[in-house]
Amino acid sequence: MHGVKMYPIHPSVRSGVVAREQMINLTALSKSARREKPRPDDVAVYNLAWRCIKRNNPALAQLLEDPFLKELVCTFNAEIMVPVNIGGVL
């Protein structure tokens, strides 16, 4: 998957089990898919991620579409990162 940045995070404790999660940078993925001449892989991965999130996590999809969140991300030049498995297929 070209253009998709995966970030390991520090071990987190969940119910006494230590797990390492891979994170996907939704902000960078969105930007790369929306640039003037996006690579087909970037668009395909972005579309797959968005469909999976909308289907498997409607609350997250609604939050990501919120204009206030978009404004915060823009204002603080922030990045939205979620676990790779949040969409169920990713």
pLDDT for position 7: 55
pLDDT at 17: 47
For each of the chain's 90 residues, which pLDDT tens digit applies? Answer: 555 555 555 444 444 444 556 777 788 878 777 788 888 887 888 888 888 888 988 999 999 999 999 899 989 988 888 777 765 544
pLDDT at residue 13, rounded to an integer: 42
pLDDT of amino acid 63: 92
Q: Are residues 89 and 48 in contact, defined by beta-carbon separation less than 8 angstroms?
A: yes
Q: What is the DSSP letter of 75?
A: H
